[in-house]
Structure 1
Amino acid sequence: MDAQVFGNVILVIVIAIIVIFVITVLFRSIRIIPQAYAGIVERLGKYHKTLMPGLNLLVPFVDRLRPLVDLREQVVSFPPQPVITEDNLVVSIDTVVYFQVTDARAATYEIANYLGAVEQLTTTTLRNVVGGLNLEEALTSRDNINGQLRIVLDEATGKWGIRVSRVELKAIDPPISIQDSMEKQMRAERDRRAVILTAEGTKQSQILEAEGARQSAILQAEGDAKAAILRAEGEAKAIETVFGAIHAGDADPKLLAYQYLLTLPKLAEGSANKLWIIPSEFTEALKGVGAGFFPTRDPSVAAAFGAATPPTAPPAASSDAAPTPKSDS
């Protein structure tokens, strides 16, 4: 009886061992690789194959799976690094590197720690690039620095199975004293630009005002010229009409007299002495009209203009005259 119980116990133990062995074999034989990862399989310590995402089978106790390699693009921010520029100024530069593992086998066997290698290579390359630039060029040439860093890093990390897509400089911090000087220079530059813009505005305003005044004077002069031309043309036409009527022998005497009277003030303009000559054609025309325009007591002037001379009052009797003798009759 005791031997039968002992045999059953041994059988149970053997079955349990077999089950555990089978489970262990299955566990070591089946590997599930998640998406965007890759697995390196070593068979008896030597590289065998690279496992892709999905279900994969291994030979238990012969194949060994190394830690999975992330194939996604990674972003690594490195701490600030002191860099000396060409003009012997120490600046602190923060960098950000974007890279991606393209070959899991090379990233596993070509470099021991590719992340640390990328950091050290970035620092060394950054010092070489910025060391050939002065502070102003380093502050204004970020795109150039980024491009040079990316090219150097991409070439160096290619054999490691890594592709560097972008390198960015987060910050370039010069010394405090240099920052104060730069701030003063920037403030002075802004003040200078403000003064220049104010002067330009004043200049443009004066130019516009002068241009407006010039256009206004030109338009006014053109208007005065046109008005004078029109007045001259009207007077010329009037004179032409009058003289045409005179030559035709069909002139209105009153019209001639009125036209002549309008011409007299123009003949009298100026301080020089003038001799008035009355054309014979106007003699008859002025008769009868001058009486209305020039009432005078001078018989010669009245006769010239056809005006009647007012009657002369008889002289008053003088008190000193001798008395008239009375007739005796």
Structure 2
Amino acid sequence: MEELIVDFLSNNIVYILLFVFLIVVILAGVRIVPQSEKFVVERFGRLRAVLGPGINFIVPFLDRVAHKISVLERQLPTNRQDAITSDNVLVQVESSVFYRITEPEKTVYRIRDVDAAISTTVAGMIRSEIGALELDEVQTNRAALISRIQQALEKVVDDWGIEVTRAEILDVNLDEATRAAMLQQLNAERARRAQVMEAEGSKRAVELNADAELYEAEQTAKARRVQADAEAYATSVVAQAIKENGVEAAQYQVALKQVEALTTVGQGEGKQTILLPSAALDAFSDAFGLLKGRS
């Protein structure tokens, strides 16, 4: 049995070696690229192709995969750099950048250390942008500042085959002296606002009081006008009666008023004695006579 196997191998050694060679060639020419990567292929040291996800074929022994580049989004470590605002305030800015490689051939052959290059570029841009703003503008317009930095960064890294997906300014820190000065300024501003609010409240109270007094005066004037109109109307009625009935109507009204006055005096509280002069009794007699005559 062993002799048969030896005879078979000796007679077919060429075919066996050829078969093994074909297997090696096939394996060397097939490249399976994961979804999250791209392969940069070189031939004799020069760029040959960029392989995308899936099954790819290369020329064995001539082509080789020189670089395996991840296309996943990356985050640079938090970077801290000092900057001076236009009003000469020293601040320490913490920033971070997210990016991903879209063209591996540019990243491989145009830049050596991508992370260091982006960090240096971002630091310079942050210093430039903050140097054109005052401290208050840096604090209040952070979104606009981030947007300008990201746009400027995209123009620079485009030659490196990189897409900047997001840039963030995480914090803007101040030294202790500046922070204490800002706190003092903030307290002063709060005190000023409180005084303004108190003054506005006093002013509003005075305005409301004046409005109330004006309203009271208007209502009093209206009441007096109504009363005057009533008295004028009563006078006109009496004048008309005198015109129509002569002196008797006038005497009747006078007598009626005298009776009403005496009746009011008699309705006073407590026990009291009322002394009437003879003229008053004559007035009663005249009033009753007139009343009787009119009835």
TM-score tier (shorter): 0.7 to 0.9
Q: When the two structures are superposed, what TM-score results if normalisation uses the length of structure 2?
A: 0.75
Distance 2:155 2:6 in 1: 69
Aligned residue number for residue 126 of structure 1 = 126
CA contact (8 A) 2:94 2:172 kept: yes
Is the Cα–Cα contact under 8 Å of residues 96 and 170 in structure 1 kept in the other structure?
yes
Partner of 2:139: 139
Distance 2:147 2:283 in 1: 104
Percent identity, please: 27
- Residue 94 of structure 1 deviates from its aligned partner by 0.7
Aligned mate of 1:258, from 252, 262, 287: 252
Instruction: Measure the CA separation in 2 of the matches of 1:129 and 1:140.
Output: 14
AA matched with 1:236: S
User: In 2, distance between residues paired with 1:149 and 1:32?
Assistant: 38
Which of the two has greater helix per residue?
2
**For residues 3-38 of structure 1, what are the alpha-carbon distances to aligned partners after superposition, in whole Å with 9 as ceiling and x for unaligned?**
x49947976999997777555444432222233432
1:77 to partner: Cα distance: 4.1
Structure number with larger C-alpha Rg: 1
Q: Give, in whole Å, the separation in 2 of the partners of 1:186 and 1:206.
A: 30
Give unmatched runs, 5+ long, in structure 2: 259-278, 287-295
User: Deviation at 1:212?
Assistant: 2.5
Q: Secondary structure, in 3 states, of the residue corresponding to 1:66?
A: strand
Distance (Å, rounded) in 2 between the aligned partners of 1:13 and 1:91: 77
CA contact (8 A) 1:78 1:119 kept: no
In structure 1, how many angstroms separate the alpha carbons of the residues matched to 2:8 and 2:120?
62
- The CA deviation string for residues 97-140 of structure 1, in whole angstroms up to 9 with x for no partner, is 23333322112211122222111111122222223444334333
Cα–Cα, structure 1 residues 202 and 22, in superposed 2: closer, same or farther, change >3 Å?
Answer: farther
Which residue of the partner structure matches residue 51 of structure 1? Answer: 51
Alignment partner, residue 205 of structure 2: 205
Check if 1:222 corresponds to 2:222. Answer: yes
Which residue of structure 1 aligns with residue 263 of structure 2? Answer: none
Does 1:293 find its partner at 2:283?
A: yes
Counterpart of 1:311 in structure 2 is none
- Structure 1 alignment gaps of length 5 or more: 265-288, 296-301, 303-329
Partner of 1:29: 29
Q: 1:159 maps to which residue?
A: 159
1:68 maps onto 2:68 in alignment? yes
Letter in 2 for 1:187: N
Q: Residues 228, 31 of structure 1: CA spacing in aligned structure 2 closer, same or farther, 3 A cutoff? A: same
Report the AA paired with residue 208 of structure 1. L
The worse-fitting range, judged by mean Cα deviation, of 179-188 and 213-222 is 213-222
Query: Over aligned residues, Cα RMSD in angstroms?
Result: 3.5
Aligned length: 266
- The one-letter amino acid paired with 2:253 is Q
Note the C-alpha offset of 1:87.
4.5
TM-score by length of 1: 0.68
- Work out which structure has the larger RCO, using CA pairs closer than 8 Å and 6 or more positions apart in sequence: 2
1:186 aligns with 2:196: no
Deviations 1:31-69 (Å, cap 9, x if unpaired)? 222334322111222111111222212222222123333
How many angstroms does 1:75 deviate by? Answer: 3.4
Alpha-carbon distance change, 119 to 46 in structure 1, aligned in 2, over 3 angstroms: same
Residue 101 of structure 1 aligns to which amino acid in structure 2? I
1:230 positional shift: 1.9
